[in-house]
Amino acid sequence: MLRLGVNIDHVATLRQARYRDNVQAPNAEPDPVAAALIAERAGASGITAHLRADRRHIQDGDIFRLRREITTKLNFEMGNTPEILAIALEVQPADVCLVPENRNEVTTEGGLDCAGQIESLRPTIQKLQAAGIVVSLFIDPDEAQVRASAELGAEFVELHTGAFANALGSDQLAELDRLSTGATLAHELGLRVNAGHGINYENIVLIRSLPHLEELNIGHSIVSRAVFAGLETATREMLALMNP
């Protein structure tokens, strides 16, 4: 069964739109932790949240509350910086997914350049793994990045599905093929395979056929549908499409 990690960053984005200067207010809404508990109730296997250096959506307090209150597992997304690494080691999530972070991007745009950052990633990965945290690397499905992820000793790669999600027609099928080749190579090298970014209620039908997939991390489309259908229904509908 393909597992679903629900990314609740966009719930925090909505809260910050109104309460950025007073997140502690008792009426600060919507609460991303409450969203996580609903997603769990609907069958999510985990909750994903990204504590960005600029704190544009998820706040430190959200991460600690998620760790305490959710009953599945926390997948903590983070850029490779000493500040956020220290927080990850304190929070002790089940999983960390290392992502690139650029202050000007609207959301995570490209995969992590593992091949070009072996030396800076290695100590971070070692510290996380020494603390018992499972490490995933968010990469484009390129051979060099998959090989570098294996060399770095990560347990998982999360294949970046954004290029696939943005492509149309035959270009989309070509991107699907790239993802499939990347997943196959990752598996051959002993890596486990997740995927995420831009997955929605339509393209899931193609994504779910990728080989060796264990978990999808999905945020924007589920939170968008939740505006109309409610989060519990939106999560259940995605799960039903993932595992027909």
List contacts with ligand PXP (CB under 6 A). 7, 9, 50, 77, 97, 99, 107-108, 138, 158, 196-199, 217-221
**Beta carbon of residue 27, minimum distance to ligand PXP (angstroms, whole number):** 26
Three-state DSSP class for residue 146:
helix
**Beta carbon of residue 223, minimum distance to ligand PXP (angstroms, whole number):** 8
For the CA atoms of 103, 109, 110, 111, the dihedral, rounded to the nearest 10 degrees, stands at 80
Residue 46 backbone dihedrals phi, psi, to 5 degrees: -170, 170
Burial class (CB in 10 A: 0-12, 13-18, 19+), 24: exposed
By beta-carbon proximity to ligand PXP, the closer residue of 93 and 198 is 198
Burial class (CB in 10 A: 0-12, 13-18, 19+), 103: exposed
Catalytic choice (175, 197, 212, 215): 197
Catalytic site residue 10?
no
Catalytic choice (77, 158, 175, 215): 77
Three-state DSSP class for residue 54:
coil
By beta-carbon proximity to ligand PXP, the closer residue of 51 and 91 is 51
**Beta carbon of residue 50, minimum distance to ligand PXP (angstroms, whole number):** 5
By beta-carbon proximity to ligand PXP, the closer residue of 58 and 70 is 58
Element housing 213 (H / E)? strand 213-218
User: Residue 102: how many CB atoms within 10 A of its CB?
Assistant: 9
Catalytic site residue 160?
no
User: Residue 83: how many CB atoms within 10 A of its CB?
Assistant: 10
By beta-carbon proximity to ligand PXP, the closer residue of 97 and 128 is 97
Catalytic site residue 57?
no
**Beta carbon of residue 136, minimum distance to ligand PXP (angstroms, whole number):** 8
Active site amino acids? 50, 77, 197
